Every structure is written in C-alpha cells, then in structure tokens.
Amino acid sequence: MSNLFLRTLREDPADAEVPSHKLLVRAGYVRRAAPGVYTWLPLGKIVLENVSRVVREEMNAMGGQEVLLPALLPKEYYEASGRWEEYGDTLFRLKDRKGADYLLGPTHEELFTLLVKGEYSSYKDFPVVLYQIQEKFRDEARPRAGILRGREFHMKDAYSFDIDDEGLQESYDKHRAAYIRIFDRLGLEYVIVSATSGAMGGSASEEFLAVAPTGEDTFVRSTGSDYAANVEAVTVPAPEPRSVEGLPEARKHHTPNTATIQTLVDFLNGADLGRDFTEADTLKNVLVKTRAPGTEEWELLAIGLPGDREVDFKRLEAALEPTEVAIVDEADFAANPFLVKGYIGPKALQDNKVRYLVDPRVVTGTAWVTGADEADHHVVDLVAGRDFTPDGTIDVAEVRDGDPSPDGKGTLYTARGIEIGHIFQLGRKYADAFQLDALGPDGKPKRVTMGSYGIGVSRAVASIVEQSHDDKGIVWPREISPADVHVVGTGKGGEVEEALRIGGELEARGLRVLVDDRKAAPGVKFNDAELLGIPTTVIVGRGLKDGLVELRDRASGERSDVPVEEIVERTVAACSQ
Amino acid sequence: MSNLFLRTLREDPADAEVPSHKLLVRAGYVRRAAPGVYTWLPLGKIVLENVSRVVREEMNAMGGQEVLLPALLPKEYYEASGRWEEYGDTLFRLKDRKGADYLLGPTHEELFTLLVKGEYSSYKDFPVVLYQIQEKFRDEARPRAGILRGREFHMKDAYSFDIDDEGLQESYDKHRAAYIRIFDRLGLEYVIVSATSGAMGGSASEEFLAVAPTGEDTFVRSTGSDYAANVEAVTVPAPEPRSVEGLPEARKHHTPNTATIQTLVDFLNGADLGRDFTEADTLKNVLVKTRAPGTEEWELLAIGLPGDREVDFKRLEAALEPTEVAIVDEADFAANPFLVKGYIGPKALQDNKVRYLVDPRVVTGTAWVTGADEADHHVVDLVAGRDFTPDGTIDVAEVRDGDPSPDGKGTLYTARGIEIGHIFQLGRKYADAFQLDALGPDGKPKRVTMGSYGIGVSRAVASIVEQSHDDKGIVWPREISPADVHVVGTGKGGEVEEALRIGGELEARGLRVLVDDRKAAPGVKFNDAELLGIPTTVIVGRGLKDGLVELRDRASGERSDVPVEEIVERTVAACSQ
C-alpha cells in the first residue's frame, strides 16, 4: 500500500446518495471523470475484472463464444433496425471526418445479426451463442448513483441464434441457468421477475433484480413463497364465478352529490339500505382512449374495477402494448354526451358500443354499486353476468401490499431492486430486418430466431456493495474482493517488516494479498481496512512482542489472537471457507 | 471446430493489400464492421488477449499499476491542453443530450494528469506509473491495412510521474527495458529508433518499429552494426576540418546555361579545367523561409549542401521544430533581387544577412563550385573557412543507401517498419497545463514531470502476422497462438473420435487445444490448419489403422510419424520447446 495508487477519503462525495457510490469513491475504487463517466482505479480494476471473470467462466461453460465488437458503429445498421430513431436522445451520435453518421453502441443486436449472417448459412451451423464484455454507451437523461447508472458502463451482452422456437427456448433456458450460477457466485441476493405478463406467451423476457432499497425498479414479492414479479406482470387470481340465482334485483337510487367513491359509500351507509358498504363493493368505470399501431383514430376504452382500486397506468400500458393509451380529456366527454362524469355505468357504455373490460375480480355473480348514467344516481346490486356482460377482463388495477400472492401462498409486498440482468426472447425482429436465414434440410431458407441476454458488469459491482456493506465500509464476497487477505502492520518495532514477511508467505500459498506497509497511525490503517472491505484481515501490531497477531473476519467482525507461527495456516484456512 | 464460430475464406478480401490483413480475415480472426473498425472473432479475441497478457505482465513487473479510464471524455480537459484544436480532424467529437462537447479518447495524457493531481500531493507519493489497456479512437484520414491502422484500436498507454528529471529518466529507462521484454516475448523483430535527433538532448523519444516491408515508417539501419534510426535522427559524420594552406584561389567562370547541377557539371568537365568534377563537388544553396513560434514574420534561410544531395523536408522540419518552415515562391525571389535563381552563392547571402547554414560535410578547407550571384556564372574553388564562413551547420540532406553509418560501422540502408511502441519524455507540458505540483521536502511546490509510453496492442497482433507467415497462412509464436496444438481428425474410421480423445488428454496436460472434428475433406482441414497457424499440429488420419499419427511443426514444416501411444508425450515435449 505504500506504493499503491490509492487515497481513501474521509468524507462522502458531495454528489453521492447511495451507499455503493459513497463507498466505492471513499475507498478509492472509482473516480468520476464526467457526469455518469467513471475511472476505475487499481483496486477497482481488479474488482471489475473479478466480476468479468465469473461472467466469462459461466458463459463459456454454457457454450457461449466470446468475441469483441467495436463501440463505434455505422448508422446504417441501426437505421435498418429502426433503433437509430427509437433510441432518441439516449443514443450518442457522431460524425466522422467525411460526414458519415456513427453511433456509440448501446447494445449490439444489429452487428451480431450481421456477423452471423456473414459466416453462417446452413441449419447445421445452428445454434450458436456469441457474447462480449465491453464498454457500452447510453446518454442517460439522469445519470445517477455513481456506477449504478452510468453513461459509459461495462456490460456482458450475449445473443443466441436458433432455427426454431424450441431452440430459442433451449438457448433461453441455458442462459437463465447460467445467470443463476453467475449471480450466485457474485454473492448477490436477487429475484427473477417476468418483465411481461404471462398472458403474452410465457417467459418471453425476465429480469434479474438485485434486491436493494436504493434500486430503481419496483417489484412485488410474496410473504409465503419465493414468488416475485414486476408489477406489470402480476396476475390477480380471479375468483370462481358464482350463481346469480336468488340475488336481489338491481335498483336505481337517487344519490345526490356522490361523484366520488368516498361520498358514495358515505351516502349508502347513511341511507339505511340494510347492509354496510365499502369502497370494494362499488364498481368504478374508468375511461381511457387507445390507438392501435398504424391507425390514426383514438377509440374509447372503459375499465371497470372495484372502487377501492386505481388503474395502474404502467400495468395498463403493458397490458395493451403495442396499442397506445392516453387519458381522456374534456373534449372527449363533450364528444360523448352519454358519459355522465362520476356516474358512468355499464349500460350507457354498452349501449354506445364503448369497449368495456373489467378487473378479474368482477366475475359472474358478483353484485356492485355503480353509476346509473344519470347525475346523482347509482344502481345497487347490479350483478355481473346477469345485468351486464363485459367485453372481457383486463388485469390493470394497482397491486397493493397485502394482496394475495398469485401462486396462492402468502400475500404480496412491494420491494425495490437493481436490474443486473435481463434475458429476452427477441424472436425474429432483427433476423427480419437483416434477412438472416438458414438453409433448412429441405433446401428452403428458414428465418433465424434470436435471444439477447445482458448483464450489467459494472452495475453488478455496485449492486454487490449495495447489498454488502456496513457503516464502516464495504464487505466484499471473497471471489470478487481485490484480495483475499489484508495484512496490516502497525508500530515501529518491526511489525511492518513482519507484516511484509507474512504477506509474502501467504502469497506463496496462492492467496492474493494486500499489505499495509504505510507510515500511518494504526487507527488510519484499521479504518482503511474496514473501508476497503477485504474479507480477511491480519493485524501485526502490539501483540507481536508476545508472539501474537490478530486474525479478523470483515463480515462477522470476529477477532482472534493467533500465535505468529500459526498465522499462515490459520489464514489459509480462513480464506478457504 | 464443429461448434466454433469460424469460417475460413478461400479468397483474400477485396480491400486487403498487406499480408496481415489478408490472413487475419481469411483465417477468421477478424471481420470488418466499418472502415477502419473491426470485430474480433473467437480465435482473434484469444490472440488479442494473449498479447494483452504479455503487455500486462511486463508492465506489472516494472511497477506499473493498471487502471481503466473512460473513452468518453469532456472537451474541457483537451481544451486546457490545447489538443482539442491540435488534433484536428483526427479527433472524434460529439455532443451529449445537453449539448455539452465530448471526444473519444485518442490517448489520455490529460485525464491521467488530473487523476494523479486528484490523489497525490507530496513528493513522497512519487514516482508512480499508471497504465491501461483500452480501445482508442482516431479518425484516420486513410484507415488502411486492416487492423494495422484502424480508427478504433487497442492500445496500452502508460504514464509516468516524477518530481525531477533524473526520476523521469529512470521511469523512461524502465519502460524501455519493459518494452524490450514485451516485444521479445511477442517474437517480433524490431528496431529502436530515436524519434528526434540526438542534438535535441538525448533520447527524449524513441520508437519501436517492427521490421516489415509493409510498414508505413521508413528508417535506416547499418550493414555493419545494429544501428537504426529514423531518417530525421540520422547524423552525418562531419569530416575533420582541413588546412586551407596552398589551396588554389577561387575563380569566377562564365558558365552559360548551367542553372541545374547536371548542366553545370557537364559544362565544367567540357571546359578543360584540369580536373574532373562530379555533382558532389558543387555546393547547392537551397532557400526556404522560416517563422518562429509566436511571430508573424517569415525569414529567409539558406541551406548549403553538396550538389548530389537534396534537402529532406521531413529532416528539415524535425531540425527546425518548433520553428515553421515553408518553400519560397516567386514573390520571395521578387522581393529579394540579390537572389539569382540557379546561381545563388554564399557571398550575396551573407552580404544581405540571409541566415546561411551548411551541411556537416561542408567543413573548413573543402573547396566547392557554387553560384557567383550572377546569371550564367559560377565560382570554382570557393573554400569554406577561407572564402566564406557559414552561420552554422544543419543536418538535413537526404540520407541515402550506402552512406556511412554514424557509428562508423558499415553503411546505411533504408528499411520499413511498423510503429508498435513509442516511449516519450513529455516533460512538464501537461503538468503545466493542469498545475500538477507536489509539495517538496522544503514545503515548496514542485512541478511534476511526465513520460508517456504507448504500445499498439491490436497493431502488434497484425505486426506478428506481417513477420510470421508463409504462402499457406499464419505462423503464430506459441505464446500468442490461440492454441498450442491443433489436432486434426480425418476419415470415417474413428479418426475424429481418436482426435477428440487425444485432444482431451493434451488438455489434461495443460495444453490449449483446438480439435478439428468437422465433417470436411482432409484437404480442407489441412489447409485450414496451415491458414490458422497454430504452432503444433497432430494429424489423426490414415496411419491410425497402423497405430500411427503425424506430428507437424507449422514453422519448420517438419513432419514425423509417431505411435499413437506416444503422441501425448511427444506433443507435450514439442510444445515446451
């Protein structure tokens, strides 16, 4: 350490909000070079390399082949795929000296598709999985949290190429298994969440989220199982339909000034109707408008859901995709006078051919209080399947803590995570854009189908720190740590020399060793050791004159005095646990 | 190989001119993604990694510390150093979404200076050597020769920081020694040439040139020693001054129509002057104009050199740097009527205070035929040191094959090379630009002095191929080769299975193995093996039924039949030579 290019900081950097940002800067692993752009200092470079190595080993083990593509890419390929436009401001664009347009690669689907097209032509060539570990560039609107969301960052991107859907599913499953091994080895606590609803055709896309309160992604998990999902992908268990036999008839009531659910419930409970009402007994009809891709026209869509729920717009967008959805405005109400604001009911909607979808909880046989399509009037005991029949169901109500888990075990609660991996069945989007075909056994061309699979390598480093730190500093998992052992020599009676000797012996035993041989006060050295977070520490200090050194475990804080002649064996043992 | 993402090509790529470009593409090591921008395929990635590993090991061994800086860099730092402008069109410039200016790093002097300034403050912190291996970006006007001169390429750039000149010299010497070890391990034949003349203060800058006829750099080497230098750095040995006693007097002659050296020599030899003249007996006076940095005014400069030599403008520029130099035009002659074109002599120059520098061969006591400052007239036997005294010497005449070597051993000849490394004493240019000071032992700030040291990592790969190939393909040095052994199985009688078995055993012995288990004709496999260039090949073919396999050495072409039970030992032995 007397020569190491490392200076730790006592203070958190002014722009840092999350633990990984504070600690990686304070401990001298990274330095900011520009907004969202970081330099990796010597120990940081080792950590980054360690994560990359784990990723590489597991990608190779699952049959991936490593290549390296350029970062500087010609516009034409991204224009062919449509991403030159789609990426918007997030793409770094530039021109060369001849005025030709280039971009800095955000991911490389286009180039990999062309690469495979250039080399392979027969169905016998497939499947193939190619990957690279490389700097990627994205001009994030709000680069934040240090290396958690940077504008230049390290990523492993892999691409699978198969000749049929079954092959793609196999490639996808192999990546999924490899990702589990990778994140397990990185010591991360993570969940795998569907990025899209199961209704869209199985696990076409899943995200690996490192659980962390500082994460940008919200997801729900169950108290009673390992169920976890993106909010968009949660499915509400639909109750069994009930018989409509013997249910009370629907009756219209004069309910003055009850345009909100709360005023309605209060009115009903004050009206002595023979029973108590809650918001969940009311059926709220929310209007939006939608526009299918390629069309100009907006169409009304009504969504009926229990009055205690709001429509989650993110879930709505995901459910309707690729159809666009927008909020209705006064002009829409004016154009459709049958819509009585605050008192919209199923009848006017269906009489006027407005598409009407309901929450899965609105099953046949359920009775509701809902609008009577007339100001200051509601209908009570309007029964689904008897008094109205919706056009279908749509699962877009907000998900709440305490909701039953879709797998029937426990209840849901909201958590936050950092997206560290994403596996995605691309299908034929890029193969279509670049006519990537393979000649089938029948001599006919067959369009190739692809998957793409990313891991945020630099983000994984930050995620590990988010999950593995305390108030004194970082606590590295051994495989990722810049060293196995931190040997600290303190004092002027030969302790530093002894630390160097012990460090040398440990190194000869195959351990990666950092020796603190600096001229600095013991307190400074101890604080730095805890800040740096190397899993095992050996302190060669005051005890040395009695033949004792101290062995510390960074994670547990356990300390024990060890006779100096036993320290090498004891340390080797501690490091192999 | 049945799964390897590799397709070899029979034909050279249309745009390829040099062997490394042809062979690396044909053998499937690289593919072009855009002009001067390449993709590394699986075997190419391994080769690139092998070169990087050698560089990394030697840089670490000499005390360098590896870091990793971003490629995306803010304009402000390069503006502070002046390089934002100086780099001209070679710099890739871009804007982010907020309109801020960025560039893609061509080299990183600025950022390293700031990095050290951010961490270090005391003389005790120094020296330090930092390096990185990273993609660099330069918008070359003519990207050429595949990866020899790309626009996105891999480079190791190192920077040394010292508090005094002696320290810088030490850091420089350590890099020089490390570079020698690196290029020796890469198996390259190279020369180390001074990039600037010794007159400018020793080895302030040296280039490592891989000797190759396809190289872009010209240098001279000696037939009689290992002397090598850039043409700019060659020094002409000055003859001893001679006595002027007893030399014939200078006489003016009427020499009609002799404005060129050849017409003059012909005229003299026809004039019966009692001796024969050659071009080397004439003194040619060449006029240029110069402008010192920071001044507006151009000044005339006359260069006197033997008539059989031309002024080498590159040498002239290097000799005068940082003073600018330009060719004189008609307007300059018109403004200085004492200049009689074709007949300029020392007298008019010196009478009119034109600065007059001569070639080192023009020593006191040498007699010359030169212009008499009058149309159609020359002076014969004008003796240096007697009839004229120049203002000094300037060593800018063209260097020719057969010139004596400056070290007195042998003669010079011209060769071509590829710049694979450059070591450079930067001095305080960047420390001045960014006020990089260290507090000295006296408590006073001391400006830090720097060196920069580059190795073209991807260019080294191409240079190895330039030097190590034959008409059949590449011949890799073992340390750089993508594998130690290429095991080729040919036939349908279990040879492929046996090749796989032998490959497995060799792998278990620690060798890196490529097995050709493809369904392809033997000729295709043999050709590919030679094209790929792995140093040792094992052929499992027809001989197998007699218990024999063949061991081939790619470099020598040697082949021997080996009993199959001995092949593992024999191959291990061959690979450890």
pLDDT digits over B30-81, tens only?
A: 999 999 999 999 999 999 999 999 999 999 999 999 999 999 999 999 999 8
CATH of the domain at B383: 3.90.960.10
For residues A158 and A174, give the distance between their C-alpha atoms in angstroms, rounded to a whole number. Answer: 12
What whole-number percentage of chain B has pLDDT above 70? 99
Name which of A453-457, B227-231, B380-384, B525-529 the model is least confident about: B227-231
Domain boundary (B342, B362, B393) is at: B393
State residue A360's pLDDT score. Answer: 95
For residues B104 and A34, give the distance between their C-alpha atoms in angstroms, rounded to a whole number. Answer: 13
State residue B318's pLDDT score. Answer: 85
CB contact under 8 A, B3 and A63: yes
Interface test with B, best of A1, A2, A5 (most B CBs within 10 A): A5
For residues A374 and B518, give the distance between their C-alpha atoms in angstroms, rounded to a whole number. Answer: 78
State residue A82's pLDDT score. Answer: 87
- Write down the mean pLDDT value for chain A: 93
Check if A368 contacts B (Cβ < 8 Å): no
Name which of A485-489, B180-184, B231-235 the model is least confident about: B231-235
Strand locations in B175-259, DSSP E?
A: 190-194, 205-211, 217-222, 228-230, 251-254
A-chain CB neighbours of B70 within 8 Å are 33-34, 37-39, 135, 152
Is pLDDT at B201 greater than 70 in this prediction?
A: no
Element housing A192 (H / E): strand A190-194
State residue A294's pLDDT score. Answer: 84
Do A199 and A267 share a domain, yes or no? no
For residues B183 and B191, give the distance between their C-alpha atoms in angstroms, rounded to a whole number. Answer: 10
CATH of the domain at A100: 3.30.930.10
Assigned domain for A267 exists: yes
SS3 of B349, please?
A: helix
Among chain A residues, the shortest Cα distance to B133 is held by A45
Assigned domain for B221 exists: yes
State residue A68's pLDDT score. Answer: 98
State residue A321's pLDDT score. Answer: 82
What whole-number percentage of chain A has pLDDT above 70? 99
Q: How sure is the predictor about A103, in pLDDT bands with cuts at 50, 70 and 90?
A: very high
Do A312 and A344 share a domain, yes or no? yes
Tell me the whole-structure pTM to 2 decimals: 0.87
State residue A109's pLDDT score. Answer: 94
* DSSP tally for chain B: helices H, then strands E: 15, 31
Do B259 and B364 share a domain, yes or no? yes
Contact B268, B255 (CB under 8 A): yes
Q: How many CB pairs under 8 A join A and B?
A: 136
Q: What's the rounded mean pLDDT across residues A561-571? A: 96
Do B445 and B548 share a domain, yes or no? no
Domain boundary (B464, B492, B522) is at: B464
Do B260 and B388 share a domain, yes or no? yes
Is pLDDT at B10 greater than 70 in this prediction?
A: yes
Is pLDDT at A544 greater than 70 in this prediction?
A: yes
Q: What is the pLDDT of residues A361-405, one digit of tens each?
A: 999 999 999 999 999 999 999 999 999 999 999 999 999 999 999
Give the minimum alpha-carbon distance from A169 to chain B in angstroms, rounded to a whole number.
19
For residues B359 and A339, give the distance between their C-alpha atoms in angstroms, rounded to a whole number. Answer: 100
Do A443 and A508 share a domain, yes or no? no
Is pLDDT at A258 greater than 90 in this prediction?
A: no
Which of B3, B66, B139 lies nearest to residue A45, judging by beta carbons?
A: B66
Is pLDDT at B100 greater than 90 in this prediction?
A: yes
Is pLDDT at B293 greater than 70 in this prediction?
A: yes
Which of B66, B69, B137 lies nearest to residue A72, judging by beta carbons?
A: B137
Give the minimum alpha-carbon distance from A90 to chain B in angstroms, rounded to a whole number.
8
Q: How sure is the predictor about A196, in pLDDT bands with cuts at 50, 70 and 90?
A: low
For residues B280 and B69, give the distance between their C-alpha atoms in angstroms, rounded to a whole number. Answer: 55
**CB burial string B90-104: b at 16+ within 10 A, e below:** ebbbbebeeeeebbb
- Write down the mean pLDDT value for chain B: 93
For residues A168 and A191, give the distance between their C-alpha atoms in angstroms, rounded to a whole number. Answer: 23
Check if A324 contacts B (Cβ < 8 Å): no
Which of B39, B111, B151 lies nearest to residue A68, judging by beta carbons?
A: B39
Q: How sure is the predictor about B238, in pLDDT bands with cuts at 50, 70 and 90?
A: confident
For residues A418 and A191, give the distance between their C-alpha atoms in angstroms, rounded to a whole number. Answer: 10
Name which of A363-372, A501-510, B192-201, B555-564 the model is least confident about: B192-201
Which of A5, A68, A96 lies nearest to residue B130, judging by beta carbons?
A: A5
Contact B497, B487 (CB under 8 A): no
Assigned domain for A496 exists: yes
Number of domains in chain A: 3
For residues B494 and B242, give the distance between their C-alpha atoms in angstroms, rounded to a whole number. Answer: 84
Q: How sure is the predictor about A203, in pLDDT bands with cuts at 50, 70 and 90?
A: low
Cα separation of the two ends of chain A: 26
Q: How sure is the predictor about A200, in pLDDT bands with cuts at 50, 70 and 90?
A: very low
Among chain B residues, the shortest Cα distance to A137 is held by B72
Assigned domain for A27 exists: no
Q: Which two tokens stand for residue A367?
A: 């009775």
For residues A432 and A419, give the distance between their C-alpha atoms in angstroms, rounded to a whole number. Answer: 28
Assigned domain for A478 exists: no
**Structural domain boundaries, residue B521:** 483-575
Do B133 and B226 share a domain, yes or no? yes
Assigned domain for B94 exists: no
Assigned domain for B540 exists: yes
Assigned domain for B89 exists: no
Q: What's the rounded mean pLDDT across residues A324-351? A: 92
A-chain CB neighbours of B92 within 8 Å are 72, 94, 96
Do B324 and B362 share a domain, yes or no? yes
Q: Which residues 126-165 of A have a C-beta within 8 angstroms of B?
A: 128, 130, 135, 137, 139, 141, 151-152
Do B451 and B515 share a domain, yes or no? no
Strands B485-489 and B536-540: parallel
Do A212 and A259 share a domain, yes or no? no
Which of B68, B94, B120 lies nearest to residue A40, judging by beta carbons?
A: B68
For residues A231 and A193, give the distance between their C-alpha atoms in angstroms, rounded to a whole number. Answer: 9
Which of B70, B92, B152 lies nearest to residue A39, judging by beta carbons?
A: B70
State residue B198's pLDDT score. Answer: 41
Q: What's the rounded mean pLDDT across residues A105-126? A: 95
Q: What is the 3-state secondary structure (H, E, C) of B437-488?
A: EEECCCCCEEECEEEEEEEEHHHHHHHHHHHCEECCEECCCCCCCCCCEEEE
Q: How sure is the predictor about A313, in pLDDT bands with cuts at 50, 70 and 90?
A: very high
Do B151 and B182 share a domain, yes or no? yes
Do B217 and B267 share a domain, yes or no? no
Q: What's the rounded mean pLDDT across residues B487-513? A: 96
CB contact under 8 A, A96 and B137: no
State residue B203's pLDDT score. Answer: 52
Q: What is the pLDDT of residues B41-55, one digit of tens each?
A: 999 999 999 999 999
Contact B33, B25 (CB under 8 A): no
Q: What is the pLDDT of residues B102-149, one digit of tens each?
A: 999 999 999 999 999 999 999 999 999 999 999 999 998 887 788 888
